[in-house]
Chains A and B, each alone.
Chain A
Amino acid sequence: MAETDFDPVAAWQKFISDWEKQVNDASARVTGTEEFSRAMNQVTKFSMAAQQQFDKQMEQFLKTVHLPSKTDIAAINDRLAAIEDALERLTTAMERSERPGGTPLAKIQIARTRRPPPESV
């Protein structure tokens, strides 16, 4: 009787692929409905409201105990990022002014004359 070589690893990989497809297909049938969309968005709405309420209370608590809140840290982060941006712009401007005629260095160095190999044309 002719038979193919049994490879347990290949069989396991095929099982995973089949399982993945089945679960994804089944999930798409459930999540691709209006009912699911309505329920999911309701849950998102409630969890967002709960999160906002929690954040508000936590902010109040941290203020009471004289500790910086997430908002304070984020504000400092924004200021640092703005300073970094400004530094970056200054560095770029300085680099340019140091070059002859203020032209970008790379423009001078590269020959832009390349042609495709004959078979590509």
Chain B
Amino acid sequence: MNQAERNPEEVAAKVRTEVDRAIQRNIKGLEFLTTVKQPVGAMAKDTLLRRGTLQLYRYRPVVSEVYRTPILIVSPTSNRGYVFDLARGQSLVEFLLTRGYDVFMIDWLAPRRDEAHLKLEDYLLDFIPMCLACVREHSGEATASLLGYCIGGTLSLLTAALFPESIANLVLFTTPVDFRHMALFRIWGDEKHFDVDRLVDAVGNIPGEFLLSAFDMMRPANRTAGVMQLWINMWNDDYVKSYRMFDRWAAETLPLAGEYFRQSTKEFLWRNSIIAGELVVGGRRVELKKVVAPVLSVVAQHDHVVPHPAAHPIMELVGSTEREELMIKGGHVSVVAGPGAVTRLWPTLDKWLAKRSL
């Protein structure tokens, strides 16, 4: 349309909208600055286990009939599990409950000082098996579907290799196994320069701020750009609410138990021992070919933390006859609860899991 031919009423309406939004930005901007933390967590739950850094929840079912196989979500050790249950309409847990699943979740808390000694063995041979036993007891079912995200996915995969008889299905969201492809972490954590022993010996548990700054350094412009986008969208309550939930989640990055960090750095970043088949946990060699449960591996197209090549070898290494990889548009976090997740991933996950949860 020619500039001169534009309908003056349309132009006036557009100007009115923008003026209105500008006013709303100022009013809501003030509200934003004065409001306390955005509440998170949409679904009712009971805590079944609490032991130091470990918490196990069971979400209260919202339907009267559920699938036989329960789901155990394993959140990443560096972040709180509420990313799976941010708010109504933005909660994978809510989606799964309404679709008829019995949902449990391992949610890690900041490890205490006296938990700095925790190692991979504690997570893989104690915490997760203990939760699986609790899920068995509460559901009455011998097996469960494990659903892990990021390093929680890596722990889930290793658990499925160590205890294949307990796992019905394995769902992995952006799960790293080949750490050669996590380029920046690999360079920053190179053993030639990074003295992990000295760091752990000095601080005990690795502070959450240390991890958060590493994530920020990977994409240094994201935070500033995010604030600028927030200002533009300040008139939009849904956008602001979503921004604040994700911002809170990122800010609440958890510390990591010192020994667990030391061991993960050496085994995963330095030796790449999962891929090499050389990871030994509590005297047991972890062989991914022992994973026999059906596997669904979800990768994000624009994941700067766990790029596709870091997750793809799962498809080749597991012994499962049923294995599927699903590429979703989005980044490392939005793959769990972003628009792509809601419209594509969740329904696909339901379809994949339903027939395998009978």
Residue numbers of A with Cβ under 8 A of B are 1-3, 5, 8-9, 12-13, 16-17, 19-24, 27-28, 31-34, 36-38, 40-42, 44-45, 48, 52, 74-75, 77-78, 81-82, 84-85, 88-89, 92, 104, 106-107, 110-117, 120-121
User: 12 A-B residue contacts at CB 8 Å?
Assistant: A16-B225, A21-B221, A22-B221, A28-B184, A41-B193, A41-B194, A78-B112, A89-B50, A106-B139, A110-B66, A112-B66, A112-B141
Main secondary structure of the interface of B (DSSP, over half): mixed
How many contacts A-B (CB < 8 Å)?
140
When distances are taken between beta carbons in the complex, the residues of chain A under 8 Å from B351 are 116, 120
Q: Please tell me which one of the listed residues A3, A9, A110 contacts residue B65 in the complex, with CB atoms under 8 A apart.
A: A110
A48–B47 contact, CB under 8 A?
no
With A24-B220, A33-B187 given, name 6 new contacts (CB 8 A).
Answer: A2-B1, A20-B221, A31-B217, A104-B138, A115-B358, A116-B354
Q: Of B77-85, B198-206, B282-290, which stretch is located at the interface? A: B198-206
Task: Decide yes or no whether B31 CB sits under 8 A from chain A.
Answer: no
A111–B187 contact, CB under 8 A?
no
Main secondary structure of the interface of A (DSSP, over half): helix
A38–B193 contact, CB under 8 A?
yes
A112–B140 contact, CB under 8 A?
yes
B138–A107 contact, CB under 8 A?
yes
Chain A residue with the shortest CB-CB distance to B2:
A1
Measured between alpha carbons, how far is A120 from B358 in the docked complex, in Å?
A: 12
B99 to chain A, nearest CB (A): 9
Measured between alpha carbons, how far is A92 from B61 in the docked complex, in Å?
A: 20
When distances are taken between beta carbons in the complex, the residues of chain B under 8 Å from A120 are 350-351, 354-355
A85–B51 contact, CB under 8 A?
yes
A112–B222 contact, CB under 8 A?
no
Measured between alpha carbons, how far is A34 from B187 in the docked complex, in Å?
A: 7
Measured between alpha carbons, how far is A112 from B199 in the docked complex, in Å?
A: 49
Task: Decide yes or no whether B163 CB sits under 8 A from chain A.
Answer: no
A19–B225 contact, CB under 8 A?
yes
A23–B113 contact, CB under 8 A?
no
Task: Decide yes or no whether B181 CB sits under 8 A from chain A.
Answer: no
Residue numbers of B with Cβ under 8 A of A are 1-3, 18, 47-52, 58, 61, 63-68, 100, 102, 112-114, 137-141, 183-184, 187-188, 190, 192-195, 198-199, 202-203, 217-222, 224-225, 228-229, 232, 350-351, 354-355, 358
Knowing A41-B195, A110-B64, A111-B64 touch, does A34 contact B225 (C-beta < 8 A)? Answer: no
Chain B residue with the shortest CB-CB distance to A87:
B50
Knowing A28-B184, A52-B202, A78-B114 touch, does A88 contact B355 (C-beta < 8 A)? Answer: no
A112–B102 contact, CB under 8 A?
yes
Measured between alpha carbons, how far is A34 from B184 in the docked complex, in Å?
A: 10
B203 to chain A, nearest CB (A): 7
A81–B202 contact, CB under 8 A?
no
When distances are taken between beta carbons in the complex, the residues of chain B under 8 Å from A84 are 50
When distances are taken between beta carbons in the complex, the residues of chain B under 8 Å from A5 are 1
Chain A residue with the shortest CB-CB distance to B138:
A104
When distances are taken between beta carbons in the complex, the residues of chain B under 8 Å from A31 are 184, 187-188, 217-218
When distances are taken between beta carbons in the complex, the residues of chain A under 8 Å from B229 are 13, 16
**Residue from B114, B137, B193 having most chain A Cβ neighbours under 10 A:** B193
B232–A19 contact, CB under 8 A?
no
Measured between alpha carbons, how far is A84 from B184 in the docked complex, in Å?
A: 40
Measured between alpha carbons, how far is A48 from B232 in the docked complex, in Å?
A: 39
Knowing A37-B194, A106-B58 touch, does A32 contact B183 (C-beta < 8 A)? Answer: yes
Measured between alpha carbons, how far is A73 from B68 in the docked complex, in Å?
A: 47
When distances are taken between beta carbons in the complex, the residues of chain A under 8 Å from B218 are 28, 31
